[in-house]
Amino acid sequence: MRRKFPQLVCGLIGLLLFVVYFSRHPIASSINETVTREYWQIVFAFALLVGVVSFAKINLQGIERGEDRLYRIISLVGLISMPVLALIWGIGTGSPFMWVFDNVQVPMQSTVFALLAFFVASASLRGFRARSGPAFILLLAAMVALISRSDVGDLMSARFSDFAEWIRSNPSMSARRAILIGIGLGSLTTSLRVLLGLERTWLGKESK
Amino acid sequence: MSLVSAVLISTAWIDPDRLPVLICGLVAIGIVLYTTFWRRGQERARMREIPGLKAVEEAIGRATEMARPILYTPGWGGDIQRPTTIASLNILSHVADKTAQYDCQLVYPTHDPVIMTVAQEVVRESYARAGCEDRFREDDIRYVSSSQFGYAAAVDGLISRLQPASIFLLGTFEAESLILAETGNSVGAIQIAGTDSTIQLSFFIVACDYTLIGEELFAASGYLSGDASILASVRAQDSLKVLIVVFLVLATIWATIAPDSSWWRF
């Protein structure tokens, strides 16, 4: 029963959502909206609570053991202070919540994102080595794409940009679409396996 | 058009814009059901070797020998409703089976508390199956942050501190993919990656040791478990692929002969 009931609910809701997707009747739209938005938000809110409790528990245990104590305290202060600031002063422009968001969270996120530039450079150095014929062609295509998108590309002939665009929209797009077809079919069969109850890993599988 | 379909469309129960998708969807579902339930007992399906999945054992063995943990993360882009996340959880179950047997630590940071809860259940069951439930540590399957770069920074921090011997990046990844893969590379971990994002695949191919491309991620469950039903559904994928190729060839020939035709554009 512990597995049968969730499986049954999953199958029925899946079938219902499949049917309403192909309908434009107001009742179908309303069911779609209720299940995919409202129910999902309720489920997520409860799950978020579980996540926050887990986060707090792990960090409190870390503080007790003396592991990275300062960082863990900062994490917990951040976790508690943001909802408190939002509850007391709101989240409008000029509120303390927005000040912390704009001056602490956004710069930290930008810093992590900026790391990407360095990682792209180091990964390219390893990836674009002409060790074989296909690797050499890949290197050439990458160089053409890079140059066409930079300021140097603007100074070159229009035919160069056209050639770069041709690479992007023909050989590159063909390979991408082939992968996308495989992903689409894989998603379809995985979803069907879940709805039919053939795939039960998400329930934790059965113990032998 | 039959009377029934005319009535259904006129009362707006069926969206005519989505009718071709519905027909194609029903054909695809029919083929999957036929292959899965009718033909699975008639012939034994065989799957080609997938290097990324073959390397799973090697990655777990390496971590066990080095007495270092394994880090497994499903990426920031997906939630539990996404088939990629389900496919990733299937592989997690297999990895957890092995880590339980070899007594190797498995760390699973995620951005989504729902995925965290499901993953905890999957790993707990794997440890119970292996008869070593006492080795299961709930705190190793943890929620870190819902913010994209908060998640990337947290997983980066874990990789730098724990120095895992093996890293599994399987799920839906966005801009954080290369940040994680390069950090994993810098600590010398063996990395197995797979995602449904074609843009991030190129980053994984460059930075990781093994990459599951497109459908390989979805076929993993059948490959690793050898389950006849799942293998049969993978075979259905191949049949659908043949149909699509036939359609593409026909449409190409038709468009070449009659450039103004448009029946195939739906």
- What does the pLDDT look like over B124-165, one tens digit per residue? 999 998 888 888 888 899 999 989 999 999 999 999 999 999
Q: B26: which residues sit within 8 A by CB, 6+ positions away?
A: none
Percent of chain B exceeding pLDDT 90 equals 45
Return the pLDDT at A77.
93
Q: What is the pLDDT of residues B72-85, one digit of tens each?
A: 999 998 888 888 99
| Residue B195 φ/ψ, nearest 5 degrees | -155, 165
Residue of B139, B178, B219 lying closest to A119 (CB–CB)? B178
Taking alpha carbons only, the member of B211, B213, B167, B171 closest to residue B190 is: B167
Q: What is the mean pLDDT of chain B?
A: 87
* Strand, helix or coil for residue B211: strand
pLDDT at B70: 96
pLDDT at residue A28 in the model: 83
Q: Report how many helices (DSSP H) and strands (DSSP E) chain B contains, helices first.
A: 10, 6
**Interface residue A191 vs chain B (CB under 8 A):** yes
Q: Residue B155 and residue B147: Cα distance in Å, rounded?
A: 12
Q: Give the per-residue pLDDT at A208.
A: 47
- Are B12 and A23 in contact (CB < 8 Å)? yes
The arithmetic mean of pLDDT across residues B41-56, rounded, is 77
Tell me the chain B residues in contact with residue A44 when contact means C-beta distances shorter than 8 Å: 113-114
Q: A100-139: b or e for each residue (b if 16 or more CB lie within 10 Å)?
A: beeeeeeeebeebeebbeebbeebeeebbeeeeeeeeebb
Provide the pLDDT for residue B190: 95
Below-70 pLDDT ranges, chain A: 1-2, 204-208
**Per-residue model confidence (pLDDT) at position A80:** 92
Chain A CB contacts of B233 under 8 Å are 189, 192-193, 198
Separation CA A55–CA A208 (nearest Å):
32
* B90 with A199: Cβ contact below 8 A: yes
Q: Are B152 and A110 in contact (CB under 8 A)?
A: no
User: What distance in Å separates residue B179's CA from the closest CA in chain A?
Assistant: 6
Q: pLDDT at position B159, please?
A: 95
Q: Which residue has the tokens 């399987």?
A: B170
Of A50, A58, A68, the CB nearest to B117: A50
Q: How many CB pairs under 8 A join A and B?
A: 195
Show which of residues 48-77 on chain B sit within 8 Å of chain A, judged by CB atoms. Answer: none
Pick from A1, A15, A2: nearest CA to A194: A15
| DSSP conformation letters of B103-115 | T--EEEEES-HHH
Could you tell me if B189 and B166 are in contact, meaning their C-beta atoms sit under 8 angstroms apart?
yes
- Domain B54-224 part of CATH 3.40.50.720: yes
- The answer, for A42 touching chain B at a CB cutoff of 8 Å, is no
Top-confidence residue, B166 or A13: B166
Note the pLDDT of residue A11.
Answer: 86
- Using CA coordinates, name the residue in chain B closest to A18: B22
Q: Is the pLDDT of residue B46 over 80?
A: no
Q: Can you give the length of chain B in residues?
A: 266
A197 three-class SS: coil
Q: Tell me how crowded residue A159 is: count the other CB atoms within 10 A of its CB.
A: 8
pLDDT at residue B193 tops 60: yes
**Whether pLDDT at B233 is above 90:** no
pLDDT grade for B10, boundaries at 50, 70 and 90? low
Is B239 touching A (CB cutoff 8 A)? no
CB contact B187 to A (< 8 Å):
no
pLDDT value at residue B212:
92
ipTM: 0.84
SS (H, E, C) A7-24: HHHHHHHHHHHHHHHCCC
In this prediction, residues B7-33 reach a mean pLDDT of: 79
Residue B116 sits at the chain A interface (C-beta within 8 Å): yes
pTM: 0.88
CB atoms within 10 A of CB B2: 7
Residue B93 confidence (pLDDT) above 60: yes
